[in-house]
Structure 1
């Protein structure tokens, strides 16, 4: 059953205990609709809405226990718009990013452990500044966050994405304690999708558009360190006047960091 409104999609309450300001991702959005039931196309993890703070373990790929949880795979077209529903809402200052990893040939997304490379395809960071002055003597404006209280977000899946089975990884990075090493909080889930070029699910039939291998690719774990800029911030978050998100360059080349969320 498809839900056309966010209110309808998220009416089902989570059975997990609520922790103030914490969240997870349990719903997949394709174009302008939430598809399926909670966790139907997203790997259910056993971490409730507790954040990860160690980027050096395999659980950093799709969250703790996610490899053991069966999920279905949803067919999408290269060029579609994808997204995630956020339970309950994005409750801390920080950034929302998305990574994409293609399963090896002949391996289904449901059987893929995420040990290959990951490309960064979406980054939503701070809100547009209200102070437009370029005078270097002007006091810089403290950043506010485009993610504040969002309940969903959407992003384009490049039309150049090659057909195949993929993990699509939502990564929320909360910065409220990130001025201390090891205290950045990561909220992670992985959706399973089958990308079909040109909207045709027949193997070997490719629609219009020139394909391009996603990249640069980095492994997870190994993509971040605890002291990377953007993971470890120089001052308490409410004093930040500039911010650079962690991760490799966005793919495809020319993709821009976003400062206004596209919600459902």
Structure 2
């Protein structure tokens, strides 16, 4: 009985930490819903590349910075067109709302050159930025707060985008530890799309970056000693928004609005084992809010351990 009690206490200690990070749980493209699989637990075909860990990517030279930890090529390539709207929703590891609220959200595209996106190696991707959102007009609250509140971020593809297969790299950078160099937490996710139509737009070669390579740990906006200062100005890292997307196509509209076609949270919640397996990796970077986090799945996990 003593060993069983010890197990329960240990589980209670790590579960809040395991749920403290997250992943893209769905992408809605022009109203069509594509669910993302729970990390390290694939159950259905998806255009969202599967990662194996809900933990953040740490360090600008980390090879996981392109599409996330050990991201695997996805089975589907979703249909899109120039000007399509893509709405991204995020879950925490236990199916709860996204847990962070400080830092930018940015979106990049890379053409899957020489092959289709379901066969393309993201290590070879050349990315151009189409969208970036940071603080709200009050200069204090980050738009990421709306994702924490259960909202989704809608990004539009450039209106003259050349047809072809593209990876969409949608990224949240959490800055609650960014007052120390190397403290920023990167959460990249890649979705495979196939753009139809007669567009001719392509980025300039000077607007392309690789990941890793597009950021430095010392960049303003990644190392940010003033991130908690009220009214401080934020500088986005990486390249500027590509000229192709600068004319209103990458607008970052819809932040804070829950997608009407969103998938019920219970249908995509990760299993307790997949979340708990990451506990030891995530406990180092908890905010006060995360430490107070209470996952609703706890009772189910407890029941599974009972004799």
Distance 1:98 1:187 in 2: 12
Match of 1:35 in 2: 34
Residues 1:170 and 1:18: Cα distance change in structure 2 (over 3 Å): farther
Contact 1:126 1:259 in 2 (8 A): no
Distance 2:254 2:140 in 1: 13
Residues 1:110 and 1:119: Cα distance change in structure 2 (over 3 Å): same
Q: Normalising by the residue count of structure 2, what TM-score does the alignment of the two structures yield?
A: 0.66
Deviations 1:192-236 (A, max 9, x none): 001111xxxxxxxx3xxx521024111111000000011110225
Number of aligned residues:
223
Q: 2:86 aligns with which of 78, 82, 85?
A: 82
Contact 2:153 2:252 in 1 (8 A): no
Distance 2:79 2:253 in 1: 29
Contact 2:155 2:252 in 1 (8 A): no
Deviations 1:112-132 (A, max 9, x none): 112131011111110111xxx
Instruction: Point out the structure with the larger helix share.
Output: 2
Match of 2:208 in 1: 217
Measure how far apart 1:21 and its partner are: 4.1
What is the root-mean-square deviation in Å for CA atoms of aligned residues? 2.4
Match of 1:226 in 2: 217
Task: State how 1:118-137 maps to structure 2 within 5 Å.
Answer: 118-129=127-138
Distance 1:119 1:262 in 2: 25
Tell me if 1:108 matches 2:116.
Answer: yes
Instruction: Point out the structure with the larger strand share.
Output: 1
Task: State how 1:143-158 maps to structure 2 within 5 Å.
Answer: 143-150=140-147, 151=150, 152-158=152-158
Task: State how 1:31-70 maps to structure 2 within 5 Å.
Answer: 31-36=30-35, 38=37, 40-47=46-53, 49-67=54-72, 69-70=73-74
Residues 1:70 and 1:258: Cα distance change in structure 2 (over 3 Å): closer
Residues 1:55 and 1:116: Cα distance change in structure 2 (over 3 Å): same
Match of 1:139 in 2: none
Contact 1:23 1:90 in 2 (8 A): yes
Match of 2:233 in 1: 242
Match of 1:73 in 2: 77
Q: SS of the residue aligned with 1:110?
A: helix
Match of 1:8 in 2: none
Contact 1:170 1:189 in 2 (8 A): yes
Contact 1:127 1:145 in 2 (8 A): yes
Measure how far apart 1:258 and its partner are: 4.9
Distance 2:30 2:224 in 1: 34
Distance 2:126 2:231 in 1: 31
Rg comparison, structure with higher value = 2
Distance 1:109 1:224 in 2: 24
Contact 1:26 1:44 in 2 (8 A): no
Q: Which runs of 5 or more residues in structure 1 are unaligned?
A: 1-15, 130-141, 198-205
Q: SS of the residue aligned with 2:140?
A: coil
